[in-house]
Each structure stands twice: as C-alpha cells, then as structure tokens.
Structure 1
Amino acid sequence: MDDEAVAAALGAHLSRLAFADRATDDVTELLIASVVDWAVASGWRAYRRAASVVPLPPPYERQFSVVDVGIARPGAAPVVVEVDHADRRRTLDKLAAEAAAGRVALWVRWGTGRFTAPPPPVRLVPFPVISRRGPAGPKVHSHTAGSDRPAPSHSAPVADFAPEPMRLDPEA
C-alpha cells in the first residue's frame, strides 16, 4: 500500500466517526484512539506516544519528542500519525523529519474551514467538524458519520406541481 493509499484508508476509517458536542481535548483523544483501532484492525502494531526521531530542544536535547501514534507494519515502512486541530509548524517539522527517516508521515488535521495541504512527503488526512459555543462557554465540536454523502433526492420535482387556479368570490 503506497503512502497515498494509507492516508486515504485512514481518512475513510475516520469519516465513519460520529459525535456531538465534544470538547477539543476529547475530539483529539477520540481521533487518536480511532487511529489506533484502524491500525490494529489492519493487522499492524500501534503505539501511542511513540518515540520520534526529533530531539527535544535544550536543556532536554538528550530526550526525544513523541508522535501521537506510531505504527509498525510487517514488510512495509512504519507509519507515524500526528493529530492536531491547529496548524502548528513544529508538527510539520516533526513529520518532515519522520518522513526523511523513512516513515510514512500522516497529519490528521481536524477543525472547521479549509485545510492547507502540507508539502510532500507529509500527507494530510483532513477531518472537518462543526464547532459552536457550548452552554458553558467553551467551544464544542460535532461530526456526522459519512458527512460527504450527497444531498437526498426530493419527493417530487417542482415542475410536476400544478396549482389550482385561484377564484375570488366577493360574495362568499
């Protein structure tokens, strides 16, 4: 499976998720758990908070950053997945370093609006949600499974409608 096919398969899996009025951290956690479920269902090993190839900045340069999910695939390049609702430069830099190390780098971006595709070889997996202010004030997010479905057909075309002529009877 090539990098594009891996990204498309993950996107198809995530599109089946449905939730309503979830907090930001809850949505991120739900997406990470769903990525792990997808990997395991594909017959791969998945690791949450897997070690990255990117060292942390000083004074922690002897330690390494982590990726949200690391996936080991027998006979194929490993996959690393970052899940973000913000367009963070550090995430892009980390994924580019992972790709340079021979891993398939996937960026699950979720939120409202448009998502700008990162430069190759990082692959974008967009996950659009609807956001609104919740009753307590903070934003809450919702997603309907299969939201890319076409609109339903209507019961009868407007052209088939023939109204009755209107009669005005001043005596009635």
Structure 2
Amino acid sequence: MAHELTEIGESEILAASLRTYLFETGFSFSGLTGKEATRTITRAVVQWVGASGWRCRSEAQMRYIDPPVLQSGGCIAYWSPSWSAYLDLRVIRKDGPPIAVEIDRADESTAVDKLRDEALRGRPALWIRWHGALRAELPAGVARLHLPTRSSKSPLRYSLAPVAGTETITLGPTVTPEARVEALHRDQQRIADEKRAAARPPGPGRTRCYW
C-alpha cells in the first residue's frame, strides 16, 4: 500500500489509511471481552503495518520528555512521570520516522501523554480509541481514529460492526517549529538527567509506616 507522507498532517494521513484498510478488509468483531477486543484491534493494526511494507514492535520502550519529579504518596515515594513508559506499538519504516500507536478503550490512560511527546519529537502519533465518550481536545500532532463499539451487560461484551470507512478521525493542532525546538531541548535535558540518575544509588522505594 502506498502512502503520501508529509511532515504536516502525516498522522491524519496514517489514520485515514488505517481506516481504509479496516473498511476494505471488513474488520469487525462480536461478543468479545475488553481484553479480547483490544487484542483483536491490535492484530488488525499489525496486519495493516505489514500490508504497508513496514514492521512494528509491541510494548516498545519510550521516555517522557519532562524529567520525573520525586513525589510522596503516603508511605510510598515514587517518580512522576515514571522513568520509562511503553507504547502499544512502534511502527518502523524506511521511508519516514517511526509511528507511535496507542490502542485504548477509555481516555483514562497515559496514552495522550506518550503520544504528545512522540509528536513533539517529530514522529507521527496515532491513537486508536474504541468505545466510550471521547475527550474534546487532543495534543498537537496527534490523530485519533474512533471505532464505536456496542456493549452488552451480564456478562460485559463488546461488538464492532464492520468498519464503514467513515469512522471519525479527530486531529490535534499542528506542532509548531518553536514547540518542537523547545521540546527537543527538554528532551536532551531529560537524557542528561537519566545519566545522572544512573550514576546515583537507587532512589527511595516503598517504606514501612509505623503508627
């Protein structure tokens, strides 16, 4: 499959390409649990990647741009954001930068933060959201493809009608050159922070509370 790849709007082009692929292959499912539905959608995305002549890695490690800050949560000290995170899929291409992909049933996840930072690095960012209400705004550079599913109760199961090719694609604003330069500067600072942290003794972890 051929794609018209441009820096501006590339996330949108990829979201539309995936939607077309799902339409042409008649993608649908019925009576699946949440985990089964996520796995089924993920397999379809991986098949689209292969049909495009690319390859992908699942649970691909990435780092947030902003350096972690040590937080206190009662008896536990922890870093926020975490020192490392994982993308559902990282698509590797010879003809462009890697694509960051997140696949989620709900908005209550770290997907937006991960995709925001990948977009700021100049990488296309694609969020596949299925089921439920959608947040109104997206970060710059992120495209969201919504796959509306139906659910049943007792037991809870999800179904997706065959993709019609008109499913909603929502876009964040364009990443400005100034925002990208500033983000890359912060990214370099984050790398330096990681090196300094690696040279220090392990930080605080779980502690015992005495009452």
Q: TM-score, normalised by structure 2?
A: 0.61
Letter in 2 for 1:142: S
Letter in 2 for 1:13: Y
Letter in 2 for 1:88: E
Aligned length: 146
Choose from 102, 105, 108 the match for 2:125. Answer: 105
Per-residue CA distance 1:13-64 (angstroms, 9 max, x = gap) = 2343111110001111111111111111100011111111238884698852
Choose from 93, 103, 106 the match for 1:86. Answer: 106
Within-5 A mapping of 1:90-169: 90-113=110-133, 116-133=136-153, 137-147=154-164
Does residue 1:27 correspond to 2:47, yes or no? no
CA distance in 2, matches of 1:14, 1:91: 22
Say if 1:13 and 1:99 are closer, same or farther in 2 by CA, change over 3 A: same
Letter in 2 for 1:143: L
CA distance in 2, matches of 1:143, 1:62: 34
Deviation at 1:3, TM superposition (A): 2.3
Say if 1:120 and 1:141 are closer, same or farther in 2 by CA, change over 3 A: same
Deviation at 1:68, TM superposition (A): 0.5
In percent, how many aligned pairs have the same letter? 29
Q: TM-score, normalised by structure 1?
A: 0.74
Structure 2 spans left out of the alignment, 5+ residues: 70-77, 167-211
* Cα root mean square deviation, aligned: 2.5
Q: Which structure has the highest helix share of the two?
A: 2
Say if 1:21 and 1:115 are closer, same or farther in 2 by CA, change over 3 A: farther
Per-residue CA distance 1:107-150 (angstroms, 9 max, x = gap) = 100004556452321110111111111xxx2311111213468x
CA distance in 1, matches of 2:104, 2:27: 16
